[in-house]
A and B are shown apart, each in its own frame.
Chain A
Amino acid sequence: MAALHGAGARAPSGGWRTATVVGVEHPVPGGVLLRLDVTDRIDHLPGQHYVVRLTAEDGYTAQRSYSAASAPDDPLVELFVERLEDGEVSGYLAEVVEPGDVLEVRGPIGGWFVWDGASPALLVGGGTGVVPLVAMLRTARATGRTDLLRVAVAARTRAGLPYAGELADAGALLALSREAHGIRPAGRLSADELLPLWEPGQTGYVCGSPAFAEALGTVLVERLAFAPSDVRIERFGPSG
């Protein structure tokens, strides 16, 4: 078995920075979209993430990681945060943060779940797991290489799926398990639906909850015949 390698040393990496909150939106119930102006920003690769660190008056800190949804050419960094039940950090970001607030952020981070902008890729996201895939799509749009990407996303309902409109406009397959979408009846994302999205030479990117990532990672390997080393998985932990 050959060793796994990501972007490695080619992946940009930044230290702690100050970020000013420029925009706060609540595009879906239970989620907040933050647009951040990061000082001395290092451009990220699509798929990389940032850490947000909150500090209380007594010096107590809590930090969590969030994928960037923005493309590197966006003057702001866009994070989408799912508000988790009892989420210490996500609750604060979803309910307290206002434009003008200053946050500590660190990034970009990660060299594995990144798209190089030049290779064919199959992107599969579940729920909030679409966020890094949106960054890849936006990058492809900015560089005129949307032909390289095939996208399938899954959610319970369209109203609960972040970036649903943008994904649909980009031609993504929207697999909704609780409601029909166009001619597609309600149902989970299936291997048969993914097969037509397969192309030679693709790298598979799967992002979502642990259960989703496990299921779809297995589909790519066992049904679409991806080599396991050609599948990159990002599992969202319950890290409130």
Chain B
Amino acid sequence: MAGPTRGFLGRRRERDPRLPPGQYDVGSDWPVLTAEPTPRIAPETWSITVDGRVERPTTWSWDEAHRLPPSEYRGAIHCVTTWSKFDTRFTGVSVDTFLEAARPTPEARFVVATSKTGYTTNLPLADVTGGKAWVVWEFDGRPLPVEHGGPVRLLVPHLYFWKSAKWVTRLTLLTRDQPGFWEENGYHERGDPWREQRYRGD
């Protein structure tokens, strides 16, 4: 890292220990950053499919997904554009629940999440299992707004938020990693905010 920038003081720094390096607290805002037009998806036409390297490829409708055991995430989310948001509350179903039904085969190591828009993002399977990832439809007790991925998005809060694919409709398990949309376009393969894995090569 280079030396100090002449004359730069920065904000007051009572730094919240929940804030990863290079991030700032956006407070009550929730910025919208999306690369494609916002799709309008009626809940009754939405479904989620788990396929690829699984024993039982399975599709759940909106009603079927809502009958699965609910699961909640409370905590922070971190966007690669440097904002973090604390004390969020998302409700949906743990990705573990979908995978238990679909049964990943032993060689499954990675997952690609696909959105209604064609947006994709790739993750190691280990990053979406063990209570670390959700398929969510509520934010703070209300339906997830469409600009934030409603009716349903993926939530992988321990990684930068581009991994939490909006408008998710498919999780495909793979034996080999396959870069998704931003991963193909200059961003990091994994995106751990605590290691500042923002861009390719970090």
Contact = CB atoms under 8 A, between A and B. Distances in A.
Contacts of B120: 3-4
A220 B38 CA distance: 12
B38 A214 contact: yes
Interface stretch (B25-33, B129-137, B150-158): B25-33
A197 interface: no
Interface stretch (A27-35, A50-58, A139-147): A50-58
Interface in A94-113: 96, 101-104, 106, 109-113
B143 interface: no
Query: Mostly helix, strand, loop or mixed at chain B's interface?
Result: loop
B199 A13 contact: yes
B71 interface: no
Interface string B176-202: 000001101110000000000001110
Contacts of A11: 185-186
Contact of A110 (B10, B24, B147, B186): B186
Determine chain A's interface SS by DSSP, over half rule. mixed
Interface stretch (A128-136, A161-169, A175-183, A230-238): A230-238
Contacts of A13: 186, 199-201
Contacts of A2: 118
B32 A210 contact: yes
B16 to A, nearest CB: 13
Contacts of B29: 238
Given A13-B200, A55-B1, A55-B3, A4 B181 contact: yes
B35 A112 contact: yes
B145 to A, nearest CB: 11
B56 interface: no
A6 B26 CA distance: 29
B105 interface: no
A185 interface: no
A193 B8 CA distance: 44
- Chain B: interface residue count, which band? 35 or more
A171 interface: no
A6 B1 CA distance: 30
Contacts of A229: 36, 117-118
Contacts of B6: 96, 101-102
Range for the number of chain A residues in contact with chain B: 35 or more
B117 A228 contact: yes
Contacts of B182: 112
A18 B2 contact: yes
A64 B184 CA distance: 21
A215 to B, nearest CB: 10
B70 interface: no
B11 A7 contact: no
Interface in A53-88: 54-58, 60-65, 88
A102 B2 CA distance: 10
Interface string B88-122: 00000000000000000000000000101111100
B34 interface: yes
Contact of A54 (B8, B26, B34, B114): B8
A201 interface: no
Contact of B147 (A15, A55, A214): A214
Given A18-B2, A239-B82, A3 B185 contact: no
Interface string A1-41: 11111111101010110100000000000000000000000
8 closest residue pairs by CB, A with B: A111-B185, A237-B31, A217-B37, A4-B118, A8-B184, A54-B8, A6-B185, A210-B32
